[in-house]
Each structure stands twice: as structure tokens, then as C-alpha cells.
Chain A
């Protein structure tokens, strides 16, 4: 029991469930406002975007801190992102379109922001499906190639948000900025910056620099 409680994965999982818990609590207490379905759609969409950003920050954080063990939490963060994306998708299919296949098909073809959001979700599915150790082993190098799709997915997610807002672009641009930073930190000079900062920190702490290996 003590070992379980000391496992950070348990705490990260509970943290990841907080947004869902909040939605349920608000729903039971009638706190979702005048347009509950809009609230749920927005909230699950927001947390999908946050999940994407957090998952994408694992690698830069590893380089910055030199703690390669952080990689252990990335799969779970990615799967929780997929979980919120699925909730978002189901909210749309069910509460917005009421399982009307013709209306959904028309929407996906006609509305650019739906097209983009739908594509992002479809692309997430193979990533979730190949997240197991067995699949990683089976796919080998191809696994890494496949999972680079996450960059495209995050970009589509931000565009999806950018195209749906009526006028105030502040929030979508905020996500766009964070994503641009996370992607830039993967470019050669971004990696160099992270490694240099990390090395200086270690020197200041009086330890030997140990440059983390790139891992996607």
C-alpha cells in the first residue's frame, strides 16, 4: 500500500482526473450554467489541448532537468489526453448532433474547424492503440515515426480552436504560442539551449554535466 501511495503515477492519474471530477460535480450541483452542453464541449476541448501541451513538454523538461525518468509518465499523460479528446468527440456526436450520421458527415466536410478537429481526433486513435510496450517492441523504429504525428495533431488542435472562436483570438493564440515554444525547443538550437541551461544548473550544483539523449 505504501509503495502504491509513493508511486507518482497514482498522483498524476488523480490529477488528470480532476477536470472530469469537476465537470461531474458541477453537473450534479447544477453549476454548468445556462448552456451546459456548450460548457462540457468547451471544457473537454480545453483539457485536450492542455493535455497535448503537457505531454509535449515532457521531452524538453527531461533535457532541462536531466531527469530522464520523466519519460515514464509520458504514456499516461498521452492516454489521458486521448481520454479527454474522446469525451470531447462523444459530446459533439451525441449532445450536439444526436448521432445523426448525415448531419455529422455534412459538418465534417463543410466546416473547416470541424474537419480539422475531426482529423486530429482520428490521428490520435493509432497513437493510443500503439501505446503499449508490446506495440512499441513490435513496431521498433517505426513506432517513433508514427508517434511524431503528435506534432501535427497538436497543430490541428490549435487551428481547430482558432477557427471556431467568433472574434476573441486571445486564448487560441496562447495555446499556439505555447505549442510554438514546445516545437522550437525540439529544433537543434532549442535542444542546444536546453542542454546549455541544464549544464549550467548542474555546474552550479557542483555536479558533472550529463547531457540527456534526444528521445523524440
Chain B
């Protein structure tokens, strides 16, 4: 069995992301052109893979190499499109990201239903390179594009009763073949404490690698909470609700002994069935040590001061 060590691959052998994406976009473009010719419509600049304009650099970068675009967009957990890792990339084409609205409601002074295109202009888009650690024991480094969730929260003006924020994913069996099976209790829901949601690291992502988010990665808008396990970062959000009581999330409802509300990345607290001490970075051969709070302890450890993280897992 030949296992390629990452170090054996010369940089010249790797297709640069832009060329890979160009080829991909070319193929998609051909498809779109054909469809456009058939239906008399022009290709859409808001479709997955289109370059996002005016993206600013940010202080959130990493010295670690980004996971190749191909791996980020073909190895996904998105059960609404199937439980296999390659299912979302194959099946998420049926997701329609326009028209799309995001309802902001609950304990806020200014509830509002945002049209996605207005929401995209809410704050300047930034590129943020974050580690992503899946609860299953693998990880990636992903250059997201988006803005802090706090930008939206400030505009919504939470009331004194708003202690938690709940996120709801689209639940449409016509667009999402996976929700026809009862793997989880749909719609997919996630939640954060209000102070976690206000933490500047918490991102509303609309793109990756400088381009519009591919459907399988949670288009048109998703959450990214880099110090928590990946499933906390809800995809394809249609509702953001401010509430007083901690919401029961989809994974808590599915397996309360295995998935807690916090689900912070923590190498010292194992999943009941497997260790969380190490992880396999996609593209690397040997496993690496998992970092406390996925390496974001300096920014977020203070949120959990005095809490028993074994109890509040």
C-alpha cells in the first residue's frame, strides 16, 4: 500500500487553488452557459465559486497551511445532504440560495427579516483563516470570508432577556434529500451563549477562498465558531433567535450523553466513545495534538472562567 507522505509532494505537483478553481469554474461555467442558453438567462455572479468583491484582509490569519480547496469542498458533514462525507458535494447542487431570507427574532428590540443580499452588505467582508476541528477527530485550516456575528447582533439590539442565541438551518425536503431520513430531528438547530455569540471570532461566513460559499459548505450564510467542534457552526441559516433559556441543539437532542451545549474543543475531555486528545489534519500523515479551545484560548478562555469544563462539555 503506497501512502503518500505530505512531505513527498513537491509544491510544483500541487494544482494551485486558483487553477483548480478556474478549471472547476470553467466546467461550471460551461454548464451554466448551456443552461443559460436553454433558458435565456445569464450566469449568476452570486453562485458558488464566483469571486467575492471587496474582501479585506484581517488580523485573523494562521502560520499553518490552508487545507486544499478540493478537500474543503468535497469532505463535508452536512447531513441534510446525506451522512457520507462526499454526499454533500454530490447532492447539494439542489439547494437554491436565492431568494433567501434570514429572520432575526425573539428577545430583540429590532426584529427583522433580512434579505440575503442586504445581509451581505451589512458589514465589510473580511478574510479569516481559522482552524476547524471536527468532533470526529479530523481538522482543516480554512480561509473563510465573512464578518463578525456581533455586527448583526448589535443592529438587532438584544433585550435584557436575551441570554442565548439559537440558529436554525433550512429544512426543505425538496431541496435537501437528507432530511427525508430521520437521522436527526430536523430542522438542524445550534446555539451559543450571548457572550459567545458576541465574541469577535464568531463569524457569519458567506465565502471561502475568496469566493461565494459552495452549497456543501453551508451557502448562502453560515456560522463559524472556531474554538468549538465543527457541528456547532450551523450551515445555511434561515433563522437567528434570541432566547432566555439555553436552546436544545440538534445534537444534544440526538445524543445528550455525547454532545453538550458548549462542545468546546478540549483535548482533556474525551467523547464517550473516542479520544479527543489528537486529531488528523486533512492532508497530513501523522496525527497532531489537539489544542485547548482549538488554539483560541487567549481569546475565549475567559468566557469559561470558573466553569467545570468536564461537566459543561
Q: Closest CB-CB distance, A38 to chain B, in whole Å?
A: 7
A22-30, A149-157, A208-216: which one contacts chain B? A22-30
- B residues 39-87 with Cβ under 8 Å of A? 67, 70-71, 74-75, 79, 83, 85-86
List B contacts of A23 (CB < 8 A).
1
List A contacts of B184 (CB < 8 A).
167
Given A95-B3, A164-B273, decide whether A34 and B71 contact each other with a Cβ distance below 8 A.
Answer: yes
The one of B79, B85, B254, B273 in contact with A34, judged by C-beta atoms closer than 8 angstroms, is B85
Cβ of B136 under 8 Å from chain A? yes
Q: Which residue of B lies closest to A107 (CB)?
A: B275
Encoded as 1 (CB less than 8 Å from any A CB) or 0, chain B from 235 to 251 comes to 00000000000000000
Q: Once bound together, how far apart are the Cα atoms of A98 and B278, in whole Å?
A: 12
Cβ of B280 under 8 Å from chain A? yes
Encoded as 1 (CB less than 8 Å from any B CB) or 0, chain A from 1 to 42 comes to 000000000000000000000011001101001111110100
Which secondary structure dominates where chain B touches chain A?
A: loop
Given A35-B280, A166-B136, A167-B254, decide whether A98 and B273 contact each other with a Cβ distance below 8 A.
Answer: no
List B contacts of A167 (CB < 8 A).
79, 83, 183-184, 254-255
List B contacts of A28 (CB < 8 A).
2
List A contacts of B141 (CB < 8 A).
none
Q: Once bound together, how far apart are the Cα atoms of A37 and B5, in whole Å?
A: 12
| Interchain CB contact under 8 A, A35 and B75 | yes
List A contacts of B305 (CB < 8 A).
none
List B contacts of A168 (CB < 8 A).
79, 83, 181, 183
Encoded as 1 (CB less than 8 Å from any B CB) or 0, chain A from 99 to 114 comes to 0000000110011110
| Interchain CB contact under 8 A, A112 and B273 | yes
The one of B2, B3, B85, B274 in contact with A35, judged by C-beta atoms closer than 8 angstroms, is B85
Q: Once bound together, how far apart are the Cα atoms of A36 and B75, in whole Å?
A: 11
Q: Once bound together, how far apart are the Cα atoms of A95 and B284, in whole Å?
A: 11
Encoded as 1 (CB less than 8 Å from any B CB) or 0, chain A from 108 to 151 comes to 00111100000000000000000000000000000000000000
| Interchain CB contact under 8 A, B2 and A27 | yes
Q: Once bound together, how far apart are the Cα atoms of A11 and B193, in whole Å?
A: 61
Q: Once bound together, how far apart are the Cα atoms of A166 and B74, in whole Å?
A: 19
The one of B181, B273, B287 in contact with A111, judged by C-beta atoms closer than 8 angstroms, is B273
Q: Once bound together, how far apart are the Cα atoms of A110 and B270, in whole Å?
A: 10
Q: Closest CB-CB distance, B212 to chain A, in whole Å?
A: 21
Q: Closest CB-CB distance, A90 to chain B, in whole Å?
A: 9
Cβ of B313 under 8 Å from chain A? no
Q: Once bound together, how far apart are the Cα atoms of A40 and B280, in whole Å?
A: 14
Cβ of B174 under 8 Å from chain A? no
| Interchain CB contact under 8 A, A33 and B273 | no
- A residues 145-199 with Cβ under 8 Å of B? 163-164, 166-168, 170
Cβ of B138 under 8 Å from chain A? yes
Q: Once bound together, how far apart are the Cα atoms of A37 and B2, in whole Å?
A: 11
A-B contact pairs, 15 of them (CB 8 A): A23-B1, A33-B75, A34-B67, A34-B70, A34-B75, A34-B85, A35-B138, A35-B280, A36-B3, A38-B138, A38-B280, A95-B3, A107-B275, A167-B184, A168-B183
**3 A-B pairs closest in CB distance:** A34-B75, A34-B71, A168-B83
